[in-house]
Chain A
């Protein structure tokens, strides 16, 4: 199977002239269609920089990123916007909904900026909302919804365009455990039913345990990789904790 995301020998340096910070120092990875991949690492390990590079918000110093057959490091500003709009879906830690728009409109916005025919918008929004179980709050404004509902609305916004790759940056970071579990259940459902490819950055071991495969990053380099295979989530969680301990991140980062 062709990988949907190929990152090869990616480097990202900040600063210059003898004062270089190597945020990413040679990372390579591949994500296959339909995979649910997690990236873990302590603060400052470069995981968010990696995600920023993949999501075209930041540009790498060296190396290649190929998404869905396109070399994105060579795209110009306008092409990048277009690529981001059409091939990628984003979910952020703070859900980043527009507070002046209702949930429905927030989800629909992802379609209107792609100039989707008007007739299709309503149906698609409702269908996606059903999948994420937020049909009840479609007419609410973000400030009227709970954090979990906001995050699921953001998820709906991310997947409604059927992106090749969904990028999630600490999606459960601001949620309580119940909401987090609900969101992750929905992620699993998306992955299963829509065969959505998800790349998720997290430093929470429980959140990571929903993934099929986890890459650990330390000091800008790949540290190790865990594959869930047929293990139960509980066993997988245990394995993750072991690696995290080995990585020596702050204890606060574990749970």
Chain B
């Protein structure tokens, strides 16, 4: 009988429960999607290639899930208390009819269970489909051809979701019991009669506040753009405080300011219900500006996180092209000069990977780090350039030839420059000196820069950023003194031969590198003091690709997870506030109806009010995040640029779905609430 009453209560007051239900639904759905990752086929596919990242992603989602569940619990409790407040009179009636408080608690328990189960079932269903979508999306990021697309139902994800939400529901039930036990019957019955005192403030004051708020925001923006996002010190916190205060003042004064502007435009003000809508908006701002500020900041977080995480993604993509021009590069550090150039391919062949066989074209080149005979003074602050990386012209040409570039020519006593891939922030003394036309003195000769010999882009594949290299004529190499060389590195670089099984070649190469290659290298070169003199490192395009992809997916998943949760939170808070105000407005709309205002016009005025409350925080949050993302771009520029179009499209899409759903539900709920009674 209780269950029946509970079910009837829920279905009857669906308009009140709609927002509550949507919040639960979205919460369960997002929670399931990110906690079922482990069982998603795309993650299994990923784990085959790079299990480290998969583990990192799973661990991080675990940690973030705890935080998310706390946020969701707070939100659901808030929504629940709101609902209970709306139903005070109903609960009072139950008490009046002689129902005990315990019975009412049981009734509320049944109701919570009912709606909770409903939300769990539908949320898991929705999450199930969304998880497939996320998998397909991830696969498309990897440019994977999906031949084993299958639907996965993650029992672990379900279990975790059910567990976490059960705890949340338990908290809700306890909260309900406490609330009911504390209520006095008279208060419950008279709840509706308590009216809110309306205080109205001077319009001039709000104009002053508005200007002040805008000025504060402008100062904060200026600081942010000038200093960038990552200098965290006292001024950073001051900037945050200014921004928050500016936002607060903005919303505090906005309604009064809007009112004044519209009042001076009589044609607008005295049209339909505009006057009423603006006055409503203004009258409620005292209770609403705080929540609008919080919502605006939460939205800023959501937009910022989502946009940056999606954006970082597209920057990483270009990164691979930039750092991995060739399929593979093997580096041998041979600082003791025990090795000959030909030894490297031979050692590789004997270890079990015949480069002649597996690789199409390949080159073995040598790079030195040498001490300059004469230090080159740098333009500013007395710094000097003491060392440089050098490479012979024929080695350089051999590398560029692998990618079909034309060989360059150097006149005697001139030198060229091959740019590395180090980020701008490293400072580039070599390039600086070279571009200034400084003379490089190496091995007793002096070389002048030849601007015609200048190469951009990585010469070979490397996980580590490459430094700039000075290109010297071949004959110069013979003059280089052994003592001035402090690093000698051989590189074997090439693409896999056409027609070979690239996956197999890759696998074989890594095996060789891991197992037998080092022995072969040691066999060939004797080490002078008995200890190992060699260092071997292998970089392949595929490895770099997967590595960057791992970072990409990690950032993307966590960003999407947090962003969506913040979005849900802010939208739900707004929606609940709007609904509780719609309940206060019932009387006002009754008057309007008696005056002969058509239903369409009344509905429109409600929609406009809801729209203002939803749109204004979003608008300011978008402005905030445009400035913020611009500042963030300077940080992210280290690894590329935010892809503005892609990231804003995805972000806009998520906002549209979540925020839009809450907006529509609020319009619908407010309309219904005002229409009856």
Binding site for B on A (CB under 8 A): 57, 77-78, 81-86, 88, 90, 92, 96-101, 105, 108-113, 115, 118, 121, 141, 143, 157
Give chain B interface residues in 42-84, CB to chain A under 8 Å: none
- Closest-by-CB residue of A relative to B271 is A112
Which B residues are in CB contact (< 8 Å) with A121? 266, 270
User: What separation, in Å, do the CA atoms of A108 and B274 have in the docked complex?
Assistant: 12
- Closest-by-CB residue of B relative to A108 is B270
Which A residues are in CB contact (< 8 Å) with B599? 77-78, 81
Which B residues are in CB contact (< 8 Å) with A83? 596
A100 touches B282 (CB 8 A): yes
Partner of B275, one of A90, A96, A108: A108
With both chains docked as a complex, state the minimum distance between the C-beta of A106 and any C-beta of chain B, in angstroms.
Answer: 9
- Closest-by-CB residue of B relative to A97 is B591
Known contacts: A81-B598, A85-B595. The answer to whether A101 contacts B276 by CB under 8 A is: yes
B597 touches A85 (CB 8 A): yes
Known: A99-B283, A100-B280, A112-B271. 12 other contacts (CB 8 A): A78-B598, A82-B596, A84-B596, A85-B596, A98-B276, A98-B279, A105-B279, A109-B273, A109-B275, A113-B595, A118-B271, A157-B595
B595 touches A90 (CB 8 A): yes
Known contacts: A108-B275, A118-B267. The answer to whether A82 contacts B595 by CB under 8 A is: no
Interface SS, B side? helix
Which B residues are in CB contact (< 8 Å) with A92? 594
User: What separation, in Å, do the CA atoms of A121 and B275 have in the docked complex?
Assistant: 13
Smallest CB-CB A-B distances: 6 pairs: A85-B596, A84-B596, A100-B279, A100-B283, A81-B598, A96-B591
- Per-residue 0/1 for B123-138: is the Cβ within 8 Å of any A Cβ (1 yes, 0 no)? 0000000000000000
With both chains docked as a complex, state the minimum distance between the C-beta of B37 and any C-beta of chain A, in angstroms.
Answer: 50
User: What separation, in Å, do the CA atoms of A105 and B270 have in the docked complex?
Assistant: 9
What are 25 of the A-B contact pairs (CB < 8 Å)? A57-B594, A77-B599, A81-B598, A82-B598, A84-B595, A84-B596, A85-B596, A98-B588, A99-B283, A99-B588, A100-B276, A100-B279, A100-B280, A100-B283, A101-B275, A101-B276, A101-B279, A108-B270, A112-B270, A112-B274, A113-B272, A113-B592, A118-B267, A121-B266, A143-B198
User: What separation, in Å, do the CA atoms of A92 and B595 have in the docked complex?
Assistant: 11
User: What separation, in Å, do the CA atoms of A119 and B276 have in the docked complex?
Assistant: 19
Which A residues are in CB contact (< 8 Å) with B271? 112, 115, 118
Binding site for A on B (CB under 8 A): 198, 200, 266-267, 270-276, 279-280, 282-283, 588, 591-592, 594-599, 601
Which A residues are in CB contact (< 8 Å) with B594? 57, 84, 90, 92, 96
Which A residues are in CB contact (< 8 Å) with B280? 100
A115 touches B272 (CB 8 A): yes
User: What separation, in Å, do the CA atoms of A109 and B601 have in the docked complex?
Assistant: 13
- Closest-by-CB residue of B relative to A95 is B591
User: What separation, in Å, do the CA atoms of A81 and B276 have in the docked complex?
Assistant: 18
User: What separation, in Å, do the CA atoms of A141 and B275 have in the docked complex?
Assistant: 14
A88 touches B588 (CB 8 A): no
With both chains docked as a complex, state the minimum distance between the C-beta of A168 and any C-beta of chain B, in angstroms.
Answer: 13
With both chains docked as a complex, state the minimum distance between the C-beta of A157 and any C-beta of chain B, in angstroms.
Answer: 8
Which B residues are in CB contact (< 8 Å) with A88? 596
- Closest-by-CB residue of B relative to A113 is B597
B598 touches A100 (CB 8 A): no
User: What separation, in Å, do the CA atoms of A131 and B271 have in the docked complex?
Assistant: 25
Which B residues are in CB contact (< 8 Å) with A84? 594-596
Which A residues are in CB contact (< 8 Å) with B273? 109, 112-113
Which B residues are in CB contact (< 8 Å) with A111? 270
Which A residues are in CB contact (< 8 Å) with B198? 99-100, 141, 143
User: What separation, in Å, do the CA atoms of A113 and B599 have in the docked complex?
Assistant: 12
User: What separation, in Å, do the CA atoms of A83 and B598 have in the docked complex?
Assistant: 11
- Closest-by-CB residue of B relative to A88 is B596
Partner of A112, one of B200, B272, B282, B588: B272
Which A residues are in CB contact (< 8 Å) with B591? 96-98
Max chain B C-beta neighbours (<10 A), residue from A111, A141, A157: A141
User: What separation, in Å, do the CA atoms of A141 and B282 have in the docked complex?
Assistant: 14
Which B residues are in CB contact (< 8 Å) with A86? 596
With both chains docked as a complex, state the minimum distance between the C-beta of B504 and any C-beta of chain A, in angstroms.
Answer: 76
User: What separation, in Å, do the CA atoms of A88 and B280 have in the docked complex?
Assistant: 26
Known contacts: A100-B588, A108-B270, A118-B267. The answer to whether A141 contacts B200 by CB under 8 A is: yes
- Closest-by-CB residue of B relative to A77 is B599
Which A residues are in CB contact (< 8 Å) with B592? 98, 113
- Closest-by-CB residue of B relative to A87 is B596
With both chains docked as a complex, state the minimum distance between the C-beta of B251 and any C-beta of chain A, in angstroms.
Answer: 18
User: What separation, in Å, do the CA atoms of A166 and B285 have in the docked complex?
Assistant: 36
With both chains docked as a complex, state the minimum distance between the C-beta of B272 and any C-beta of chain A, in angstroms.
Answer: 6
A81 touches B596 (CB 8 A): yes
- Closest-by-CB residue of A relative to B196 is A99
Which A residues are in CB contact (< 8 Å) with B598? 78, 81-82
With both chains docked as a complex, state the minimum distance between the C-beta of B48 and any C-beta of chain A, in angstroms.
Answer: 65
B272 touches A81 (CB 8 A): no
Which B residues are in CB contact (< 8 Å) with A141? 198, 200
With both chains docked as a complex, state the minimum distance between the C-beta of B319 and any C-beta of chain A, in angstroms.
Answer: 57
B275 touches A105 (CB 8 A): yes
B279 touches A81 (CB 8 A): no
User: What separation, in Å, do the CA atoms of A77 and B597 have in the docked complex?
Assistant: 11
Known contacts: A98-B588, A115-B272, A141-B200. The answer to whether A109 contacts B595 by CB under 8 A is: yes
With both chains docked as a complex, state the minimum distance between the C-beta of B593 and any C-beta of chain A, in angstroms.
Answer: 8
User: What separation, in Å, do the CA atoms of A157 and B595 have in the docked complex?
Assistant: 9
With both chains docked as a complex, state the minimum distance between the C-beta of A113 and any C-beta of chain B, in angstroms.
Answer: 5
User: What separation, in Å, do the CA atoms of A235 and B597 have in the docked complex?
Assistant: 42
With both chains docked as a complex, state the minimum distance between the C-beta of A52 and any C-beta of chain B, in angstroms.
Answer: 10
- Closest-by-CB residue of A relative to B598 is A81
User: What separation, in Å, do the CA atoms of A99 and B592 have in the docked complex?
Assistant: 12
Partner of A81, one of B200, B266, B274, B597: B597
With both chains docked as a complex, state the minimum distance between the C-beta of A154 and any C-beta of chain B, in angstroms.
Answer: 10
With both chains docked as a complex, state the minimum distance between the C-beta of A92 and any C-beta of chain B, in angstroms.
Answer: 8
A113 touches B283 (CB 8 A): no
A118 touches B596 (CB 8 A): no
With both chains docked as a complex, state the minimum distance between the C-beta of B470 and any C-beta of chain A, in angstroms.
Answer: 77
Which A residues are in CB contact (< 8 Å) with B601? 113
- Closest-by-CB residue of A relative to B266 is A118
Partner of B270, one of A90, A100, A118: A118
User: What separation, in Å, do the CA atoms of A115 and B272 have in the docked complex?
Assistant: 6
With both chains docked as a complex, state the minimum distance between the C-beta of A47 and any C-beta of chain B, in angstroms.
Answer: 18
With both chains docked as a complex, state the minimum distance between the C-beta of A107 and any C-beta of chain B, in angstroms.
Answer: 11
Max chain B C-beta neighbours (<10 A), residue from A90, A96, A111: A96
With both chains docked as a complex, state the minimum distance between the C-beta of A95 and any C-beta of chain B, in angstroms.
Answer: 10
Which B residues are in CB contact (< 8 Å) with A98? 276, 279, 588, 591-592
With both chains docked as a complex, state the minimum distance between the C-beta of A38 and any C-beta of chain B, in angstroms.
Answer: 21
User: What separation, in Å, do the CA atoms of A113 and B270 have in the docked complex?
Assistant: 9
With both chains docked as a complex, state the minimum distance between the C-beta of A217 and any C-beta of chain B, in angstroms.
Answer: 22
B595 touches A110 (CB 8 A): yes
Known contacts: A118-B271, A143-B198. The answer to whether A109 contacts B596 by CB under 8 A is: no
Which B residues are in CB contact (< 8 Å) with A96? 591, 594
Which B residues are in CB contact (< 8 Å) with A143? 198
With both chains docked as a complex, state the minimum distance between the C-beta of A116 and any C-beta of chain B, in angstroms.
Answer: 8
User: What separation, in Å, do the CA atoms of A90 and B596 have in the docked complex?
Assistant: 10
Which A residues are in CB contact (< 8 Å) with B276? 98, 100-101, 109
- Closest-by-CB residue of A relative to B284 is A100
Which B residues are in CB contact (< 8 Å) with A157? 595
User: What separation, in Å, do the CA atoms of A83 and B283 have in the docked complex?
Assistant: 31
With both chains docked as a complex, state the minimum distance between the C-beta of A22 and any C-beta of chain B, in angstroms.
Answer: 25
User: What separation, in Å, do the CA atoms of A78 and B597 have in the docked complex?
Assistant: 9
Which B residues are in CB contact (< 8 Å) with A118? 266-267, 270-271
- Closest-by-CB residue of B relative to A143 is B198
